[in-house]
């Protein structure tokens, strides 16, 4: 791993530790997905093992996070209608008002289903995820049903041209839910809530990686320290 990559990993971990410090014993915790959320899951496991926390239950946003949580000793339960006390997750882009793009890791549907039920959604990231407007750096992942996916992509391309179906090698990328992902290029200027409504209203779309008005705060780590955005 290059020095730069190692430094980014250290920053992700710093942000994760800040968020985990908010978790209290007995809480039901939404466990995010991705390389930053991984540090939060590992730290929660460590705190349980060391007796700094007890009675934590995790609700995982992907099979990978559920596997990791069990590995580090966090009891994992399925999502049910009860609220979660807190959820901790990474993001691909963080706008100044804490609107987010998520889903480059492919877990956007379970993340949204889980995190919408969290009393507090805490985002953790390194400083490269900060943008002045959504879509500046990352595509917008849109989860779509496999059945008829080419027709769904055509419908999406009518107003979001230039995107591409996500691939793993020569095959379509398949989410934990058995769906495909269309990575859309966002226009330079758009109204996020309106775009979200239009995408969700497109036949074949399951959900989008736009997480609007959901995050309570973000811990963003940079070489000169961790900034808390609210």
Catalytic residues: 111
Nearest to 138 by CA among 170, 190, 192, 100: 100
- For ligand 5RP, which is the closer residue by CB, 153 or 210? 210
Closest of 74, 42, 71 to residue 58, by C-alpha:
74
From the CB of 216, what's the least distance to ligand 5RP, in Å? 16
Smaller CB separation from ligand 5RP, 48 or 124: 124
What is the C-alpha to C-alpha distance for residues 92 and 138, in angstroms, rounded to an integer?
7
Residues found near ligand 5RP in the complex (CB under 6 A): 32-37, 89-92, 102-108, 111
- In whole angstroms, the minimum distance from the beta carbon of 75 to ligand 5RP comes to 22
Is 103 annotated in a binding site? The answer is yes
CB of 115 to ligand 5RP, least distance (A): 10
Q: How far does Cα 207 stand from its chain's mean position?
A: 13
Residues β-bridged to residue 165: 182
13 is in an annotated binding site: no
Structure-block tokens of residue 57: 């239950």
Measured from the CB atom, the residue of 52 and 177 that comes closer to ligand 5RP is 177
Q: Which is nearer to ligand 5RP, 39 or 47 (CB)?
A: 39
Is 35 assigned to a binding site?
yes
Q: Quick one: 52 or 173, whose CB is closer to ligand 5RP? A: 173
Is 65 within any annotated ligand binding site? no
Nearest to 124 by CA among 143, 108, 102, 147: 102
Nearest approach, Cβ of residue 36 and ligand 5RP (Å): 3
Q: In 10 A of CB 98, how many CB atoms?
A: 19
Does 137 belong to an annotated binding site? no
Q: Closest approach of Cβ 71 to ligand 5RP, in Å?
A: 18
126 is in an annotated binding site: no
Known binding residues for substrate are 33-36, 89-92, 102-105, 129
Q: Which residues are known binding-site members?
A: 33-36, 89-92, 102-105, 129
């Amino acid at each position: 791993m290059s020095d730069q990559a190692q430094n980014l990993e250290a920053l992700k971990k710093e942000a994760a530790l800040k968020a985990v410090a908010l978790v209290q014993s007995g809480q039901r915790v939404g466990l995010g997905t991705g390389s930053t959320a991984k540090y939060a899951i590992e730290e929660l496991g460590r705190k349980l093992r060391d007796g700094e926390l007890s009675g934590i239950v995790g609700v995982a946003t992907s099979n990978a996070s559920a596997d990791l949580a069990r590995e580090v000793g966090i009891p994992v339960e399925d999502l049910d209608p009860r609220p979660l006390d807190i959820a901790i997750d990474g993001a691909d882009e963080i706008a100044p008002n804490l609107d987010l793009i998520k889903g480059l890791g492919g877990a956007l549907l379970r993340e949204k289903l889980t995190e919408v039920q969290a009393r507090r959604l805490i985002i953790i990231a390194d400083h490269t995820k900060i943008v002045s407007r959504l879509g500046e750096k990352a595509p917008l992942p849109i989860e779509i049903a496999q059945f008829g996916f080419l027709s769904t992509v055509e419908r999406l391309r009518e107003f979001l041209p230039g995107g591409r179906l996500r691939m793993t090698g020569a095959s379509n990328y398949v989410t934990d839910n058995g769906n495909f992902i269309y990575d859309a290029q966002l226009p330079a200027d758009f109204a996020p809530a309106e775009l979200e409504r239009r995408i969700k209203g497109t036949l074949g779309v399951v959900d989008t990686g736009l997480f609007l008005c959901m995050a309570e705060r973000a811990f963003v780590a940079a070489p000169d320290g961790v900034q808390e955005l609210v």
